[in-house]
Structure 1
Amino acid sequence: MKRMLSVIMLVVLLFVFAGCSNDKTSAVSNEKEVNNAKTTESSDQGDTNKESGKVDKITYAKDQTYTSIYSGEISTLNYLTSSSTNEIGLASNFVDTLVDYDQYGVMIPSLATEWISSENGNVWTFKIRKGVNWYTSEGEVYGELTAQDFVDSLKYTFNKDNGSKTANIAYKVLKNGKKYYDGEITDFSKVGVKAIDKYTLQYTLETPVPYFESMLTYASFFPVNGKFLAEVGDKFGTSNDNILYNGAYILQKFEPQNSRILVENENYWDKDKVFIKKLKYKYNKEAKTIGQELFLRGDISEVYVPSTSIDAWMQDKDKKEMVRPSNPSFYTYFYAINFDPNFDKAYDPENWKKAVNNVNFRKSLFHGLDRVAALTTGEPYNPKNKIANTVTPPNFVNEDGIDFTQMGSLKKFTDTDSYNSDLAIQFKEKAMKDLEGKVDFPVKVVIPYSTGSSENAQRAQVVQQQLTRTLGDDYVEVFIVPYPPSGFLSNTRRVGKYGMELVNWGPDFADPETYTYMFIPGSNYNFPEKTTEVDENGNNKFDVYMKMVTAATNEKVDLAKRYNLFAEAEAYLIDQAWVIPYRLGGNGGYVASKLDPFEAPYSPFGVSSLRYKGQHILDKPMSTELYLSEKAKWNEKRKEILNSLK
């Protein structure tokens, strides 16, 4: 299998694709290319003004400065050791990676102009872009970027004494990486990374990794200038003067608990794609409290609007035009079903254990949960926008232009609302017949929730009332149990004190395998590993699932086959009602922002979505109507592009 992306392909991509990510609402939250350089007005984007019938165009502000406040200070600029989203997000704007992603999620060249893998997928060779320089905080040239910079970076990262929190991402895939990190070998030349020449970089893997390319936008694969690193030693990353820059911005000012300012790198190799000229961040420990007021005064560029405030915005004519839904993240939330209950004996865990090992009982819960009603507690205006029908979210990965969630048997669940009161009653009747004389009805259903927000309590109450109303109090008795937010997971899920619990998961790399990790043995989720249920052939159902996952994991060459195998495994997981998919993740319901989320790099993994490259500051916040219109256009364009890449 060979893969190559050449300079010619780069030209084609940049012509076809213009330059979507999670919203960067720095003022309140820490929840990961446009070719027209004009800063006045785009050509034909916009939404219809309902009164005049005219189309409001997206227009760009004259002052292309992004402003924000923040309350969570970073502790280091050393991107080779940090795992913090805040810190890596900052670094992603002044250090480039080998590859990047455009606004539709298509991988494009960055510091590498082309690359190729060996027939067996073990060896990857990259041609480094010539003429890219490292700059000081003063904007002066320090030296040219070379292949050796990627080697020196990993040598530093794999030195356990340097305390890198992301070293495992790289050492678990590179040949001898973990052995060097653990001190089993001391010769770094035996590790699977080397500079063949000044502009040729080669990685050798322990075994083929189908998603290796997507890992290249993680911080552990960032470059560093080895000479500079040796010069500054332990001071690397302690100030803006003790790092170098090869990306779109230079950190001009860095005063912890005061401010930081990034300015455009005027000599940047891809300067034509940088439209926002300055990024200004001001520290304020009350950022969450005063953010909305500052946005309304025009002092900051965006702010997250929580569910507790959204009514006030929606009921005000002017404010309503400033707020839009926030983009969902690639975390998904789902209700987990516990097969190893350890909750209080008052709730009869043994009775629950017998009931939950019956597929008809689980399916009655699966079809009986009205997710839209539950979501209304946090998103009262457009709850369906947050619904997730699968564990792996849509638009995560695709092959041959087909989204993963549309593959094989998984498509049935993707395209169907799980809530169906008629089916819920049918499965209730089957379960009561199956379990007659074995289980005491009503079955006690224990649902814990965190008292960290009023929304959690409201959602739990809605679920309690709605399940009881749909299934009947002769069948289930739902108990919602409050726990303090501190140590919530340790006191509930990790010790099995739940019957059903809302949990979440996000991706570690660009492959559906990452969404199986919470279900496999040793994940400490207690589901569905402990099921005793068997299929018609007498096989334990969890063993059946694991064989499906293993078969998919072992397919390392044919991506279409691999993805379809994972899709069948997830379809089996959902069909068995071991989980009830609930919603997509994200900062919450709404955001007021002068950024167009559909200009930003789109990637569910790595650092690309944290970059401001390719984006403009709008002259006014994007409204909900305009957002929904642009989202529909983006979805259609993405489909078109993916189809063209088949």
Structure 2
Amino acid sequence: MRLKKFFNLLLVTGLFAASLAGCNGSAGKSAGGDTAATGQTSQNEKKGPNGETLASEQIAHGQQFHVITFDTAQVGDSESGSFFLATCEGLFRENHGVLENAGCEKYEVSEDGLTYTFHLRKNKWSDGVEVVASQYKDTIERVLNADLACPYAFFTFPIKNAEKYYNGECDFKEVGVEAVDDYTLKFTLEAPEPYFTDKLSYTMFNPIRVDNIEKYGDTYGTDAMQILSCGPYMVQEYTASQSTVLVKNPEYWDAENVYLEEIDLQQIDETATQFQLFEADQLDFVAASGDYLKKWDQAASEGKCQLYTNGDVASQFFSFNTQESSPSGLMQNAKVRKAIAYTLDSQTFIDSVYNSRYTAAYGLVTPNIKVGDKEYRTEVPEPIKEEYSEYANNPEKLKALFHEGLKELGKDTDNLSTITIQFLGYGESTIEKDIEQYVVQRIQDNLGIKVNLNIVGDFGLAHSAQVAGEFDMCMQVWGADYNDPMTFIDIFRTGGSSNYGKYSSETYDKLLDQLAKEQDNEKRLKLYEEAETILIKEDVAIKPLLYRDKHSYINNRLKGFQYPVFGGKYEFKYAYIVEE
């Protein structure tokens, strides 16, 4: 089913939303200027991986990616990560929560844990050029270019001399990455890191084509049509905030086991429209939401669709701008931050905004994250759960704490209604409006101060405002990139690219430095506990809200579609459509 046919169906069924008007991708060129061919084969002669009869048309329909950047070095979000899961192939790929060799056929680790040697597969880019080890080396050099300010540059710092090169203290030839030959890649680390291979599955370690980057110059990363693919799919059509068409990449090393010939993604803002399209078999997967949970859980129990549920490794929290330059000029004080934080009750937030879905959080690190073979959240109590209960729904105690903070700043007043703080939000969806209403109501009711809403149009604009520090408080969601608490804890290192509130603590940073060198998991548990307590309870850089879960509905015809544990939101490589 082609894109234009999809829109005709929307019109016929009366489901066409205003947000989709003008959605008309231009067919023709694929990424990097090569012509995109669907590479369709006769599916009637081919069975699915479990012997199923495949539908003649292997096209999946889903929601548009909200991609912030098309530069792998700049990716720091799961939506952009999903785009590159489809179009790129790194050394590893997650399959049902397990890392599998992808760009590498095999690898060895030295006995001291310092040297990793990877033997690459024979793979090609979508323009027919070979994928070689030097392209993996090039990506490390690019990510470590401090002028680019890549958000995940710190991921490379365990590599020998990587941080020194980033800081301009040595030449790149001294960095511990080597293209031994076209199909052998070697990394040398500063110290053993138990989750190094987990990191290598992340987008910023994917190979790059320097010639293609140079071709587009300063505009590289701004347009999906610039992308050369070395993954299962390549871009055929792309219109920002409207639609994407991905087609099978015939040059991909494992193309024989890629079943979907095409993936059509559409921007559909309204939840009601999403579920109407899903019910009409015009969307193949949709996230559970609000009042639709009960109806579609029941539908799944009756076999009308597939229900996907699983614990997630994503944490949702409010971040505070800790700088004097924040809009109110008050957030630099920890007591002010704590008073505001403790007006925001995790459980009532979940009940009000998400119809009682998700789990209330009083820590940053989610369940399902391990230190060695022990689950962190089982071993370490949530740092603010007990203290929060002392302040919950107690306006007098919260105001007293707020006044203490104001006095320390020399800005105390008897009339708290003269004080205004700014909350940064984005979008006009029902959920976003519910979040804004909750924040305003809870803070005003408990403290008597005013909340000014600064609402920007979309996630990209919100991200820019966060980076610029244009908020007193804002919402963040952080999904783990690998299975260790460090994936959450090191967000808030001084100068961290996703540390939007500019939190800085010498004590906290020293704990992170200790953790980078510590190999004993029992000691690491204690260090993580100490760091999390400082961040949330003592310095109140953030206010935890909830631990997310995955709860979605999938069309019965779509099999093998996955929601990865780490990295991107969607994995299409293993998906296929069966005959109904």
Question: Normalised by the size of structure 1, how large is the TM-score?
Answer: 0.59
Partner residue in 1 for 2:348:
373
Q: Structure 1 residues 154 and 377 mapped into 2: Cα distance closer, same or farther (>3 Å)?
A: same
Q: CA deviation at 1:567?
A: 2.5
Q: Does 2:530 match 1:568?
A: yes
Matched-pair contact (CA < 8 Å) for 2:316–2:475: yes
Residue 428 (structure 1) aligned to one of 362, 381, 397: 397
Q: In the alignment, residue 428 of structure 1 is paired with which amino acid?
A: K
Q: CA deviation at 1:121?
A: 4.2
- Aligned residue runs from structure 1 range 196-235, under 5 A: 196=180, 199-205=183-189, 209-223=193-207, 234=215
Deviations, residues 339-364 of structure 1 (Å, cap 9, x unaligned):
6677888xx959x959649xxxx4x7
**How many angstroms apart in 1 are the aligned matches of 2:413 and 2:176?**
60
Deviations, residues 281-321 of structure 1 (Å, cap 9, x unaligned):
266798989654443332331245665xx459949986996
Partner residue in 2 for 1:65:
58
Matched-pair contact (CA < 8 Å) for 1:83–1:166: yes
Partner residue in 1 for 2:94:
101
Partner residue in 1 for 2:82:
89
Partner residue in 1 for 2:119:
127
Q: In the alignment, residue 236 of structure 2 is paired with which amino acid?
A: F
Partner residue in 2 for 1:604:
566
Matched-pair contact (CA < 8 Å) for 2:72–2:203: yes
**How many angstroms apart in 2 are the aligned matches of 1:354 and 1:153?**
40
Q: Does 2:282 match 1:299?
A: yes
* Coordinate RMSD, CA, aligned: 5.7
Deviations, residues 384-410 of structure 1 (Å, cap 9, x unaligned):
x24333212222x31332122223xx3
**How many angstroms apart in 1 are the aligned matches of 2:137 and 2:463?**
39
Q: In the alignment, residue 178 of structure 2 is paired with which amino acid?
A: K
Q: Structure 1 residues 149 and 122 mapped into 2: Cα distance closer, same or farther (>3 Å)?
A: same
Partner residue in 1 for 2:16:
none
Q: Does 2:248 match 1:263?
A: yes
Report sequence identity in percent: 19
Q: CA deviation at 1:570?
A: 0.9
Unpaired runs of 5+ residues, structure 2, are 1-18, 21-47
Q: In the alignment, residue 262 of structure 1 is paired with which amino acid?
A: V
Deviations, residues 170-199 of structure 1 (Å, cap 9, x unaligned):
76454455777899877x654422243565
**How many angstroms apart in 2 are the aligned matches of 1:325 and 1:76?**
28
Q: CA deviation at 1:582?
A: 0.3
Residue 582 (structure 1) aligned to one of 525, 545, 568: 545
Residue 367 (structure 2) aligned to one of 379, 394, 397: 394
Q: Tell me the matched-pair count.
A: 513
**How many angstroms apart in 2 are the aligned matches of 1:284 and 1:497?**
28
Partner residue in 2 for 1:516:
489
Matched-pair contact (CA < 8 Å) for 2:318–2:475: yes
Q: CA deviation at 1:125?
A: 2.0
- Aligned residue runs from structure 1 range 277-296, under 5 A: 277-281=260-264, 291-296=274-279
Secondary structure (helix, strand or coil) at the match of 1:612 reads coil
Matched-pair contact (CA < 8 Å) for 1:93–1:612: yes
Matched-pair contact (CA < 8 Å) for 2:225–2:237: no
**How many angstroms apart in 2 are the aligned matches of 1:142 and 1:206?**
33
Q: Structure 1 residues 306 and 172 mapped into 2: Cα distance closer, same or farther (>3 Å)?
A: same
Q: Structure 1 residues 311 and 262 mapped into 2: Cα distance closer, same or farther (>3 Å)?
A: closer
Q: CA deviation at 1:216?
A: 1.1
**How many angstroms apart in 2 are the aligned matches of 1:517 and 1:89?**
23
Partner residue in 1 for 2:520:
558
Partner residue in 2 for 1:112:
104
Deviations, residues 610-642 of structure 1 (Å, cap 9, x unaligned):
43233455789xxxxxxxxxxxxxxxxxxxxxx
Q: In the alignment, residue 280 of structure 1 is paired with which amino acid?
A: I
Q: Structure 1 residues 279 and 119 mapped into 2: Cα distance closer, same or farther (>3 Å)?
A: same
**How many angstroms apart in 1 are the aligned matches of 2:480 and 2:224?**
31
**How many angstroms apart in 1 are the aligned matches of 2:433 and 2:226?**
48
Q: Does 2:574 match 1:614?
A: yes
**How many angstroms apart in 1 are the aligned matches of 2:66 and 2:502?**
37
Matched-pair contact (CA < 8 Å) for 1:460–1:480: no
Q: In the alignment, residue 565 of structure 1 is paired with which amino acid?
A: L
Secondary structure (helix, strand or coil) at the match of 1:570 reads helix
Q: CA deviation at 1:564?
A: 3.5
Q: Structure 1 residues 208 and 596 mapped into 2: Cα distance closer, same or farther (>3 Å)?
A: farther
